[in-house]
Structure 1
């Protein structure tokens, strides 16, 4: 069956972040395949990201944030859930609701989803979820959905072990496969991600302090913005790295950012299925990364198309970066292997797996 009604429900439609990017990527992909897609966000952030023209409708349940916990919030949740019910009831038979974040599921649960297929997603690793309040919420709110989806088989097995027998996995798609890779001539290591504790840029600076003296002609280009920017800049100065670290700010041109570098660094404390890592590989930029989640070693074949270090081991990450920075031939081989291997997550391949899942759950 083609041309389903598909609702993608997230915490927000227009905040900056991996899940929001994924939602719009999926919405475009499914729209191109003839489905009628509607993207729904619960809240509206203070600084909404400009989405430009979209080929599908979007709805925001709140013009800001919902009320704080208490009776007012409960009443407002029930009221806003009726908006969802109205949208869901107007859908054609075979419609699917994909809830991309468990917090958004609290509103979907209050809506009438009778006759619809409901898929709940977690975009982080099992371990990252277990360390947060989301773990109990996933167990509670996703217990009765038609399918609970994570990004790797390893994580799905762990959720099944925790009691979610409806758990399965489906990886993210790489958003583009460019014809032209990075020339890998720029003497720069590139990092792309939010400047927050989770992304571990503080550990990357510690790593860079070991590598930079050996490569005085190289720079570390840090793309991103976030709440930790000021403290990270102070750390950079304290480590004496101001001459070799360039703070690039947010970028809307990821391929361009990657073209300016020859190595990609991922220093996260936790990840789901890191998009920036996939994008670097698609551009043929070999990476050195902390193996901080199943998604990382699912994407990178260590020693073949990138190099992995034990989570948090800055000395080991420094050695991996040094290897790649010192050997142009190794960068070429790994960059080309990365470009080739990442094709298994091409948009068409992943979209077809989603179509197969919709058909299976409808039976």
Structure 2
């Protein structure tokens, strides 16, 4: 097979680069491998690259290079294909779009692998038509902004497999963002056998390594090591890495008077000789998608004391066997873990041997076999879809005014198979949730108006009674007009529901159903923006009644939770109206990209329900219903003198953009983003 990895840059230093090179090098033993580096910012790569791997740089950003692309007019034009909410969006341009598109237009790759969210989106859009498309997640579901996950949905839905580095994270992706035809699984990163002899464990050095960033919580480590140094002053701590927290950590070391026992060593590559100098390794991260440093230390025969953060450490370390897991942010527990290994040499040596033995499961050869098995299965699946036995039904579909959906075969089934055919509907992410409907003599299957489908996306297949062979239905003509009357259908006190057929071009024009089903639903009827003022009018459906004093709730996604409440008014028999400003949401902003969901508490003791727009024929609202953005300065802080200095320097004050928009589930949300 020919395998192509698409990476931000292969010329830098980072965990994604290292693990990609490890995997690519091992695959090169049996396959043709290329690494497509979007950017080349230096002449040579920081890590050694196996000469059997073909490296293809696309955009040259070296200032002194004859092929420098910085002056290309397209370089300054924002990308049209890279997700806007991706952290590196500002680095991507239409030039990058064109270079990636052009490379894969002429590619004969069998497998194309994207190594970060934006590049997974590129793979979904630009990989060769016959290639298997694979996305890798080197962070975690919870690490990404809600806006990015929403943007990525259509791209993740279009690829063949999505691979995380821990099973814990894979489970979260499967639960929070179910994908109907995309395999979501975990394969760990690989770490090769070190080129140095294992640690002999005789030293008195504790080693930590990683970016000097807030998420690594080195300030917690320093406070813990102060407790260690107080009783074991002959032990020292070495911290390897570079980052924006260096000066802060230096100041804390001085404040704790640890300057003789704690040393900031800077970045080192290769790092293995430094691990081997240690008797104990330590990690105090707030979260780890995997934990490359943990495996590196263990492969060098060094037991690890690590915080038990999501998700990697607990899947790498066997607590009490080859290392110790301690609570996140617990200074005392970290100190106690270090002292336990410092004071018990026998335990330390036993864990060191177990660490070296157990970490072999992350050897590139072992991990690569998992990838090869996945690639082989995906290639076989693709081949079966293209050439294997089966049927390829094409159908027209009509939605009646009362909600009945009729699917009519537009082309005849193979002779002898037309008897007893059924329409099979399966819900994405819930394989056991199946609905079947018989075709009549005219080739039509009817889904009754009263049939309530659980909310979600549904795949449509035709299944042969005799052979049980299924074929995904391809859409020809879709008449959705009846869905436009969903708001007028009597609910009868039961759940509010709507079933809308649509064409999914990412699945080869597959016919799909989007179902909404809610016991109580608040439909957004009208959204008006007047300066900073937002007026929202809606209607309540289902077994519920609007009180004279409904409340609008804004709930912040993520942690810590936050909620804002605004009083509203009843309009007519079932309606409500709220007029509010987003000033409080801006004032409560915690991240550069806060997302607030909009809910209505229609009566004083009622459970709030999300406000959305689902009772019509438009399956995806977010790109169709667009409201004006509000741009406003952030709250001024600091002294009048600083404000005057900023004005004198003609610096634009910090601003935020507030946007009301529809999510992928067609529910309303409010987004506060730093500009």
Is the structural similarity TM-score above 0.5? Answer: yes
Structure-2 separation of matches of 1:161 and 1:39 = 32
Q: Which runs of 5+ in 2 are unaligned?
A: 62-68, 81-91, 381-675
Report the equivalent of 1:8: 5
> Where do residues 253-332 of structure 1 align in structure 2 (5 Å cutoff)?
253-332=270-349
Cα 1:255/1:319, change in 2 over 3 Å: same
CA displacement at 1:109 relative to structure 2: 4.0
Greater Cα offset, 214-223 or 162-171? 162-171
Partner residue in 2 for 1:169: 186
State the partner residue of 1:84.
100
2:18 aligned residue = 21
SS at match of 2:282: strand
After superposition, where does 1:111-260 map in structure 2 within 5 Å?
111-129=126-144, 134-165=148-179, 166=182, 167-176=184-193, 180-260=197-277
Larger Rg: 2
Equivalenced residue count is 357
CA RMSD, aligned part only? 2.6
Deviations 1:121-170 (A, max 9, x none): 1112333336x765444434322210011012221111111123331111
Q: Which residue of 2 aligns with 1:42?
A: 38
Q: Per the alignment, in what secondary structure is the counterpart of residue 60 of structure 2? A: coil
Tell me if the contact between 1:181 and 1:284 (Cα under 8 Å) persists in the aligned partners.
Answer: yes
> Going by fraction, where is helix more abundant, 1 or 2?
1
The separation in 2 between residues aligned to 1:184 and 1:311, in whole angstroms, is 26
Deviates more, 1:108-117 or 1:143-152: 108-117
Of structures 1 and 2, the one with the larger relative CO (CA 8 A, separation 6+) is 1
SS at match of 2:35: strand
Report the CA distance between 1:349 and its aligned residue. 1.3
**SS of residue paired to 1:14:** coil
Q: Is the 8 A contact 1:120 1:145 kept in 2?
A: yes
| Cα pair 1:9 1:39 within 8 Å, conserved | yes
Structure 2 CA distance for partners of 1:331 and 1:318, relative to 1, 3 Å: same
Shift of 1:350: 1.0
Measure how far apart 1:111 and its partner are.
2.1
Q: 1:106 to 1:126 in 2, by over 3 A?
A: closer
Give distance in 1, aligned partners of 2:220 and 2:19: 26
Does the 8 A contact of 2:165 with 2:290 survive in 1? yes
Task: Name the stretch that deviates more: 189-198 or 47-56.
Answer: 47-56
Rounded Cα–Cα distance in structure 1 between residues aligned with 2:322 and 2:26: 27
Native 8 Å contact 2:112 2:127 kept in 1: no
Q: Which stretch shifts more, 283-292 or 34-43?
A: 34-43
Query: What's the counterpart of residue 484 of structure 2?
Result: none
Note the C-alpha offset of 1:45. 4.8
Between the aligned partners of 2:262 and 2:306, the Cα distance in structure 1 is 18
Q: Where is the strand percentage greater, Structure 1 or Structure 2? A: 2
- Contact 1:125 1:270 (C-alpha < 8 Å) held by counterparts: no
1:336 is displaced (CA, Å) by: 0.8
Structure 1 length-normalised TM: 0.90
Provide Cα deviations, 1:49-85, integer angstroms capped at 9, x if missing partner: 5345641222333333999x99921368454334334
Does the CA-based 8 Å contact 1:120-1:148 persist in structure 2? yes
Shift of 1:194: 1.1
Q: Output aligned runs, 1:67-106, within 5 Å.
A: 72-74=77-79, 77-92=93-108, 95-106=110-121
Q: Is the 8 A contact 1:184 1:261 kept in 2?
A: yes
Gaps of 5+ in 1: none
Structure-2 residue corresponding to 1:30: 27
Tell me the SS of whatever aligns to 2:134.
Answer: strand
1-structure distance, mates of 2:231, 2:286: 26
Change (3 A) 1:114 1:313: same
Tell me which residue corresponds to 1:107: 122
Q: What TM-score do you get using the length of structure 2 for normalisation?
A: 0.50
